[in-house]
Amino acid sequence: MSHKNKKLFGVWMDTHNAIIIGKENTEDESYIVLGTVENKGADNNSNEHAANNHEISLKQKFFKEIAMLMPNIDEIHITGTGQIQEQFTKFLADTPQYKNVMATNSTAEKMSDEQLVSFVENLFN
């Protein structure tokens, strides 16, 4: 399969926000922002165990919402702050629909939408 017909996506994420970059269809020449996902985080909880479980559930929900914006991924580059992108890569590998996705990671500070689109275009072209 040529690089041109692959479903290629880029994601910038931190623990609370994700920006998904891709093409609306494989024939399109340019990348666009396909969507954003927000993870509000857990509310204060007096029980540490319950709060931890709630945080894990919210993170899984966050990852599923991101993945829903990218059906049939062939290749993805995930960038962002901290270690959340590594956790998302593991989520994809552990999800049957995405287990064969070629995923790469990097670390990057928050970028404007235009900078992120340019970053992804340069990465895949």
Task: Quote the domain boundaries for residue 27.
Answer: 3-124
> What is the C-alpha to C-alpha distance for residues 88 and 70, in angstroms, rounded to an integer?
13
89-110 mean pLDDT: 94
Buried b (16+ CB within 10 A) or exposed e, 88-101: bbebbeeeeebeeb
Number of structural domains in the chain? 1
> What is the C-alpha to C-alpha distance for residues 30 and 24, in angstroms, rounded to an integer?
9
- Pick the range with the lowest mean pLDDT from 6-15, 32-41, 42-51, 96-105: 42-51
pTM here is 0.89
Q: What is the CATH number of the domain that holds 30?
A: 3.30.420.60
